[in-house]
Amino acid sequence: MNIEEKIIKLKNEKNAIILAHNYQIVPIQDLADFRGDSLQLSIQAKKSQAPLIVFCGVRFMAETAAILNPEAKVILPVEDAGCPLADMINVEQLREFKALHPEAKVVCYINSSAAVKAESDVCCTSANAVQIINSFPEDETILFVPDKNLGSWVAKKSGRKVIVWDGYCPVHQWGFTRRAYEHLKNLYPDYKMIAHPECDEDIIEVADEVLSTSGMERYVKEHDRLIIATDSSFTDYMQHLYPQKKLISLNTRAFCNNMRKTNLKNLLNALEKEETIVEVPPETSEKALSALNKMLELSN
């Protein structure tokens, strides 16, 4: 039996499901029961009946699954698969930020800790951020944490007053430059560029579309020649699904180290040992659930 077969056998024996984010390596996405962006995976986690959810992604995603589905045991195959963006604000910093703007509402990107979610009015993902911001009355001031690039982009799209926290994703902030874009655009003038909203505004300004990873996948289905500005594992997987398309990663070396930590070997080990269990203290979980449920209601 090869390793993929062992994983599937064990998964079936344990009645588990495997969720994988769009930035996971090709073999992991290939054998997952569901793959998708943060919003799609949250919805799958919430509605899953399986007693065991194996989350191939990063900690905040597994934490979100544990909050949305407290009946299930949620495991993260690599204990230290974190998200540097989520770590850019902690709950004390958020409380100080709120104290400076007591009249404002707080929208937190799902890339945040459970404790930060618990202190927020509503969560959002890159797929529904504009919709969530637009759900507030027009004159409401909104504090957006922790991603300044997503926050600035939604402020522009919605015309709302948004005060952004100064956090960023190192992969998207530094991985893609206007110079690299201009170089590729000179070589391939008929290619369109799609970018993730975590990219710096230098890239956002010249992108043909700004999309979450699920939005990017829809765009890939409809276009044949694209430059893609997000984690290069996403482009690898799209190329694997659509080998006839001409897809170029704006930077093949820009990928999330934390997402790449999960591989078939540690996934099998995680399933065997049912490790690492991700749990959220009940009080935090209850409050964070309210911010997550509000997001899910608004994105219907």
Q: Helix 213-222 and helix 232-241: axis angle, to 10°?
A: 40
Comparing CB distances to ligand 13P, the nearer of 125 and 285 is 125
Residue 231 interacting with ligand SF4 (CB under 6 A): yes
C-beta of 178: minimal distance to ligand 13P in Å?
20
Please select the residue that binds ligand 13P; options are 74, 169, 228, 238, rule is CB under 6 A.
169
68, 289 Cβ separation under 8 angstroms: yes
Contact partner at residue 251 from ligand SF4, ligand 13P, none, CB < 5 to 8 Å by partner kind: none
In what helix (H) or strand (E) does residue 108 lie, and over which residues does it extend? strand 105-109
CA-to-CA dists, residue 297 to 35, 135, 289, angstroms: 22, 11, 12
C-beta of 258: minimal distance to ligand SF4 in Å?
5
Residue 198 interacting with ligand 13P (CB under 6 A): yes
Residue 145 interacting with ligand SF4 (CB under 6 A): no
CA-to-CA dists, residue 95 to 37, 110, 120, angstroms: 29, 18, 10
Which of positions 105-144 make contact with ligand SF4 (CB under 6 A)?
111
What's the gap between Cα 166 and its chain centre? 18
Please select the residue that binds ligand SF4; options are 171, 194, 220, 254, rule is CB under 6 A.
171
Total number of residues binding ligand SF4 (CB under 6 A)? Answer: 12
DSSP string over 159-217: --EEEEPSB--HHHHHS--HHHHHHHHHH-TT-EEEE-TTS-HHHHTT-SEE--HHHHH
Please select the residue that binds ligand 13P; options are 24, 42, 113, 126, rule is CB under 6 A.
126
Stretch that binds ligand SF4, among 149-157, 181-189, 251-259, 265-273 (CB under 6 A): 251-259
In what helix (H) or strand (E) does residue 76 lie, and over which residues does it extend? none
Residue 259 interacting with ligand SF4 (CB under 6 A): yes
Stretch that binds ligand SF4, among 1-9, 44-52, 79-87, 217-225 (CB under 6 A): 79-87
C-beta of 109: minimal distance to ligand 13P in Å?
9
**Strand 73-75, strand 52-56: pairing:** parallel
Please select the residue that binds ligand 13P; options are 64, 120, 128, 212, rule is CB under 6 A.
212
**Strand 161-164, strand 122-124: pairing:** unpaired
Residue 169 interacting with ligand SF4 (CB under 6 A): yes
Say how many C-beta atoms besides its own lie within 10 A of residue 218's C-beta: 12
Task: Give yes or no for a cis peptide into 137 (omega within 30° of 0).
Answer: no
Please select the residue that binds ligand SF4; options are 7, 50, 72, 256, rule is CB under 6 A.
256
Please select the residue that binds ligand SF4; options are 28, 32, 50, 58, rule is CB under 6 A.
58
111, 296 Cβ separation under 8 angstroms: no
Contact partner at residue 125 from ligand SF4, ligand 13P, none, CB < 5 to 8 Å by partner kind: ligand 13P
146, 161 Cβ separation under 8 angstroms: no
Binding residues for ligand 13P (CB under 6 A):
22, 37-38, 111, 125-126, 169, 196, 198, 212-213
